[in-house]
Amino acid sequence: MIKKENNKLYESVHNYTKFKLVEMLIDKYKDKNIDNLNQIEQLADDVLTVLAIAGLKHYNELKGEFKWE
């Protein structure tokens, strides 16, 4: 039950982070020549992938340091 709730939480954090990334990129590059919003969304996906990789690396290194339940 806790694992299912954690998955929902992780998905919610992922979706909100992606939304905020896309929002920031649109605001930052609204005056630039961008072909379409799909490019911005793809960039946001790429950033999320890097964040996930970095997060997993540090999680694996630090999981013994903290009590994660």
- The pTM of this model reads 0.60
Are 22 and 41 in contact by the 8 Å Cβ rule? The answer is: yes
pLDDT of 1 over the 70 cut: no
pLDDT tens by residue, 21-63: 888 888 887 777 777 778 888 888 899 888 888 888 777 766 6
Query: Which residue did the predictor score with more confidence, 1 or 11?
Result: 11
